[in-house]
Each structure stands twice: as C-alpha cells, then as structure tokens.
Structure 1
C-alpha cells in the first residue's frame, strides 16, 4: 500500500496533505525518514511514525479461517498472474493479509487478518506456535528415519528445530503421516521429507495450535468466533 494512502486511512490527513507531510520529512518507516511519495509499505509489519509517533490503522480487525485449495498462491498479488487466496474472499471491505504461507501445491488451514501484531506472533519461530499437517509420502519411513526427522535435519544450511512425525497408515508404496512443526521456512516439510528419502505427494495443514480446520470445505472461509480469536491472542 502507498504510504500516503495508509496515512489517510489512519486519519492523519487527506492523501494530498499526507504527501506534504512526507515531503516535510516528518514520516519514518521502520525508523528511516521517507520522502518518496510513491513509497510502498506493508501495513501488517512495517512501523510507520509521524512526528515520531506511531500510527495504526483504524479499520475493524478481521479474522478469517480458510481451507485453501491447491493451485492458489498465498500472497496479495502474483507477478505470474496466478490465482491468489484473496480471490476466494468476497464481500468484506477490510483489506486482509495471509498469516504466513502455504505453498501453491499445499492445501488446508490458512488464517487471514489485518491484525499485524497477532500475525507476527503466529508466524515468528520464537513463539513456537505448533502447526499440524497431514502428508502422503512415498514409501514407508522406518523408525531411524523418523528419529532423524524429529531431531532436526540440515535444510538449506539450516538445522530444523525438533519436530513430531507419526505414521498413520501405509498402503502399497505410500504412507500417510502426521507432522507437527513450529517453524515455517519455504517448503520446509517437503524438503525434510525429501531429506529422509520419502518425498511428499500431497500435503494439507489441519491445525494451528488447537485451532482446527474441522469440516470447512475446500475453497471456503468463515470469520473466527470470539472464543477462537481469544485463543489465538493467548498463544
């Protein structure tokens, strides 16, 4: 979003007057003075101050749970013109953003909100919010491979944190496993499964903490209820 638009939505001034305030070097983004009128900011994560006082959006906080289908990117827009998860949300006036990401070919529970503080707490590794997935993998992992997965694997020069993995069933040359991690690096579960020799053929997130996807149909969404919102804020 353009900085002057954000300022106007926060009630600082009109867009034109906001541009004057920017030009007067009174606005900082993440501690840096901005004078470029077309400067774009991330309303969820950037810290914007006017005269050294932080400004925040006045719009109503919105919390959405979605059952993301495969074939959608978890971004606001896509340079390759692929469908985004926002294409699935209609008839809400507030601008919401995905909390973290699910890969293009991963389905399941996705949260969207305009509450930047909550989004940060849910995705930052230091808060250790557990995400639960069901994956179908090739072959049948043996206990030694499962222990390697649990204890941490080197992925892209990084040792993954401890994780949980449990084989739920095995049929022919495929197994269904339940995986729990509290990190969210790019395609992490797929890379971890590759590392132990059991590539993922399908992946679905079913829970964030104790918040479960439940019976929500693929491609559908709903607003979280007060109890669910309170729970997420506590974790």
Structure 2
C-alpha cells in the first residue's frame, strides 16, 4: 500500500515550488487536491492524487527573480560573519550591469528572500546565483542536483617537479573528504599553472581541500559556469537578472 506524504513535500517533488513556498500557498488557500482547497499545514496526500495551484500562486512565482552576481573576494555568500558583508549587499540599482538585456525593473521587494543557491568561499570570486525562486534553489543545491559547476583554479605545486599524472587522475576520481568518496570530477590543465575543475557537488572548500591532498596550493579560484549559465563578461562586483530564455 502506498503511504501518504506531506502535501508540501509532494508539491516539491512535482517541481511546483519549494517546500517553504508550498506551506505559504497552502496557508493562503491556493492549493487544491483533487479539486478541493486544502489549507491546513501538514496535510497529507497519496501519490495518485491530483495537486493543482491557483493562478495567484503562479503569478507570484513569476514575479520572483534570480540574480547572477560576479562575487568579488572578501564577501561571504550567505549570512554576514566575522565582520565580512554578505554578497547580497551588492545587489543595488547602481551595480546592475549596464549590458543586462532583461526588461525586469529593479524593486527593493526583490531583495526579500533573495538567497544564495550554493556557496562561494570568501577568498574566491566568480558566478554566484541568488534567487527568490525555490524551484531554482532546489535545482542547484537539492540533494539530487547533478548540475555542473566549472571553476578556473590557479595553483602552485608544493613538491619538487610537476604534479604526477597519477595525482591528476586522483583529482578526477578517487579522493574522499570527511570520510565520504567524492563524485567523479573533470579536472584538466588549462596552462602550466591553471586547472579547470568541473564538479557536480559543492562540499565546503572542496577544491582547496582536493588540491591540498595532492600537494597543490590554490592561489586563485574563480567560478565561471553553473549548468548552462556562464559568467561571461559580467564585471566583478556587478550583477544581472537571469533572462527568461536562460536555464541552468
């Protein structure tokens, strides 16, 4: 017999919204199960039951923005810490890239619930995604996310000679962090002191720790791509909106 699941969890599984959004919509009476409004938080449904949302929910979701920021070194991705400012303070009208082609107008309400979908260390720069849309957050940082993230990493080998081929293979697959095997990565030399890393996960300080394990010191780290969305020519410290024709 199929077990009932929480309505908010089922809505997230169906890709309608995030669980947090689902709870908001349920409380507002914007969710129907088999045509009947369900407004009680914690309600459960069976997988075969039909879940639909009212037009107001879709309209509110359409107003939610996703921002692409070229985060400079010295800003933290999320909450302020140790006297360092969060990257969201850079999302101001005067820092919007003049070449942003979207027609979206900036409004202070867009800063409400604008959260980073993934981290980028304080001493790294490059592409950081901030979003109000729970579906995008789930896509980028959900447990089953397989979206590629690409980095350019400037390194210095701390042992005599060059990095052995066997250690480059280890970076691609075979290393463990915190007692868990890492997913396969794609790591190759770009030039004599720069590596390209393509990962499908994002453990804390993962690239730095991977490099350390094979005797490489990271001198600079820049994220240039998340899925199909690239940093491109976006200047450091500036941002733009994710376009309607773009997806990760």
TM-score normalized with structure 2 length: 0.68
Unaligned 5+ runs, structure 1: 1-27, 32-42
Contact in 2 for aligned 1:64/1:111 (Cα 8 Å): yes
Cα deviations by residue, 1:176-225 (Å, 9 ceiling, x for unpaired): 00000000110111111111111211100000112110000000001121
Cα deviations by residue, 1:124-149 (Å, 9 ceiling, x for unpaired): 35231000000011124221111111
Cα deviations by residue, 1:85-118 (Å, 9 ceiling, x for unpaired): 1110014321211111000101001111100121
* 1:52 counterpart residue number: 41
Change (3 A) 1:141 1:125: farther
* 1:85 counterpart residue number: 87
Residue 70 (structure 2) aligned to one of 60, 67, 71:
67
Contact in 2 for aligned 1:45/1:120 (Cα 8 Å): no
- 2:237 & 2:187 partners in 1: Cα distance? 27
- 2:81 & 2:240 partners in 1: Cα distance? 27
Figure out how many residues of one structure are paired with residues of the other and give that number: 187
Does residue 164 of structure 2 align to residue 142 of structure 1?
Answer: yes
Equivalent positions of 1:105-116 (< 5 A) are: 105-116=123-134
Cα deviations by residue, 1:35-56 (Å, 9 ceiling, x for unpaired): xxxxxxxx96646353237897
Contact in 1 for aligned 2:126/2:223 (Cα 8 Å): yes
TM-score normalized with structure 1 length: 0.72
Q: Give RMSD over aligned pairs.
A: 2.6
Does residue 212 of structure 2 align to residue 209 of structure 1?
Answer: no
Does residue 188 of structure 2 align to residue 166 of structure 1?
Answer: yes
Contact in 2 for aligned 1:166/1:178 (Cα 8 Å): yes
* 1:11 counterpart residue number: none
- 2:152 & 2:81 partners in 1: Cα distance? 30
